Amino acid sequence: MSDVFHLNLTKAQLKGATLAIVPGDPARSERIAKQLDNPEFLASTREFTSWLGYINGQPVVVCSTGIGGPSTSICVEELAQLGVRTFLRIGTTGAIGE
């Protein structure tokens, strides 16, 4: 059973990771994770696709946030519940209007 509802992840799966790379697009999660050492698919639920990889031997989570503030908030809050403390947002950004 997962420790967090929306991401469908457990703390054990993160192997002590305190850094997360969070793109918006689920397809980018895999592309980013495959640039890390020993990428491992963790879960995919709706817009949240999660991978674990390593940088210099340290575990790093890659998890897509989907579009907008509400889904980003869910992703960040649930990863924080699992011990992540640093979030690196990667991807596009924009606004409607001028």
Positive or negative: CA dihedral 79, 84, 87, 89: negative
Number of other CB atoms surrounding residue 96 within 10 Å: 4
What are the sequence ranges of the domains in the chain?
11-90
User: What is the per-residue pLDDT across 25-73, written as a single tens digit (0 to 9) for each?
Assistant: 999 999 999 999 999 999 999 999 999 999 999 999 999 999 999 999 9
pTM (predicted TM-score)? 0.93
Nearest to 17 by CA among 92, 76, 85, 77: 85
